[in-house]
């Protein structure tokens, strides 16, 4: 195998919102003997395990937190009921909701107040999308794309917001589908800048390489979206969480590997992948046995 070249997307790794959430979480574990986080702080298993080692507990519901204790709201946000329950039970909240996610919650709530029919472009089971709907008083509808509109009565006044990790193409499709069916359409493009820049840079890189490796949590919406975008270019694409999953088989005939990572992927995870790619490539040159692929 000739020497393998690895090219990374600029700005891969933690985004502003994730850095902020982690800083708050680390402060919380230093300051309080017990802190419970409502769901995973970010969608990265290794980071969550690291916080558990620092003493953070992860719970599904605010009801599992003792009155008077401290709880953290994850970067994806939470619905208003969580804030009300915490206040009623004197639970101190540390709020790691990303400010860009809060902007979507506020926009959706405002549109409902102004009596628009509100659509949230997002994933129905994603905690961020669900919390946006809760902030809209349960009166917004999550759609994954234009095809989800089939069978829905469209009102005369419609508003659209999106989960921060969506792709602009999908928003454009949804807007194009709605426009002929309504008289007034308000669109707030709430796709986060960190997301769109990473998506564009990953797309540009994917068309120029033989293999794309996308690093990040399997539950991370923005990482999964990156993998979909890269795969759609036709370039073989692998989504992995850690360097151990890399397989020498994938490198057969590959000269240039592109690396990108979700907004919740630590720099160390990216560096570990880069190093292991070097080892695998050297191993192939030296005729070492293939690594086992765990996926």
Where in 151-170 is the site for ligand F3S (CB under 6 A)?
164
**Total residue count of the chain as it appears in this document:** 295
Q: List the one residue out of 43, 58, 9 whose CA is nearest residue 217.
A: 43
The backbone torsions φ and ψ at residue 282, rounded to the nearest 5 degrees and listed phi first, read -65, -40
22 binds ligand F3S (CB under 6 A): no
User: Judged by CB, which is closer to ligand F3S: 17, or 79?
Assistant: 17
In the complex, what is the shortest distance from the CB of residue 110 to ligand F3S, in angstroms, rounded to a whole number?
A: 18
Is 275 assigned a catalytic role? no
Q: Which residues contact 60 (CB under 8 A, 6 or more apart)?
A: 38, 39
User: What string marks each residue from 91 to 130 as x (binds ligand F3S by CB under 6 A) or -?
Assistant: -------x-xx-----------------------------
* Contact criterion met (CB below 8 Å) for 34 and 58: no
In the complex, what is the shortest distance from the CB of residue 74 to ligand F3S, in angstroms, rounded to a whole number?
A: 10
Question: Which listed residue (4, 41, 75, 187) binds ligand F3S by CB under 6 A?
Answer: 75
263 binds ligand F3S (CB under 6 A): yes
As beta bridge partners, residue 4 has none
Question: Which listed residue (195, 199, 202, 281) binds ligand F3S by CB under 6 A?
Answer: 195
In the complex, what is the shortest distance from the CB of residue 241 to ligand F3S, in angstroms, rounded to a whole number?
A: 18
Q: List the one residue out of 159, 168, 164, 144 whose CA is nearest residue 104.
A: 164
Annotated catalytic residue: which of 30, 52, 66, 128? 128
User: Judged by CB, which is closer to ligand F3S: 198, or 276?
Assistant: 198
User: Judged by CB, which is closer to ligand F3S: 132, or 158?
Assistant: 132
User: Judged by CB, which is closer to ligand F3S: 92, or 103?
Assistant: 103
The backbone torsions φ and ψ at residue 224, rounded to the nearest 5 degrees and listed phi first, read -60, -40
The backbone torsions φ and ψ at residue 94, rounded to the nearest 5 degrees and listed phi first, read -110, 120
Euclidean distance between CA atoms 1 and 36, whole angstroms? 50
* Contact criterion met (CB below 8 Å) for 56 and 25: yes
15 binds ligand F3S (CB under 6 A): yes
**Catalytic residue numbers, as ranges:** 128
């Amino acid at each position: 195998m000739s020497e393998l070249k690895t090219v990374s997307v600029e700005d891969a790794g933690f985004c502003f919102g994730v850095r902020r959430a982690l800083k708050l979480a680390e402060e919380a574990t230093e300051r309080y003997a017990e802190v419970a986080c409502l769901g995973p702080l970010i969608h990265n298993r290794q980071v969550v395990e690291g916080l558990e080692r620092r003493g953070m507990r992860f719970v599904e519901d605010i009801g599992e937190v003792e009155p008077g204790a401290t709880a953290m709201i994850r970067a994806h946000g939470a619905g208003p009921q969580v804030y009300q329950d915490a206040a009623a039970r004197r639970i101190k909240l540390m709020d790691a909701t990303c400010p860009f996610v809060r902007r979507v919650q506020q926009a959706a709530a405002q549109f409902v107040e102004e009596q628009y029919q509100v659509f949230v472009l997002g994933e129905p089971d994603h905690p961020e999308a669900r919390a946006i709907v809760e902030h809209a008083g349960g009166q917004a509808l999550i759609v994954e794309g234009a095809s989800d509109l089939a069978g829905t009565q469209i009102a005369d006044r419609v508003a659209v917001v999106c989960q921060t990790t969506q792709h602009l193409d999908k928003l454009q499709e949804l807007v194009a589908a709605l426009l002929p069916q309504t008289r007034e359409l308000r669109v707030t493009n709430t796709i986060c800048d960190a997301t769109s820049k990473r998506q564009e840079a990953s797309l540009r890189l994917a068309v120029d390489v033989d293999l794309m490796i996308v690093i990040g949590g399997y539950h991370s919406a923005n990482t999964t979206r990156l993998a979909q975008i890269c795969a759609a270019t036709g370039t073989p694409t692998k989504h992995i969480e850690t360097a151990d999953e890399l397989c020498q088989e994938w490198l057969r005939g590959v000269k240039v590997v592109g690396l990108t990572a979700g907004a919740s992927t630590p720099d160390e995870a990216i560096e570990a992948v880069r190093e292991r790619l070097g080892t695998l490539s050297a191993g192939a040159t030296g005729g070492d046995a293939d690594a086992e692929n765990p996926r």
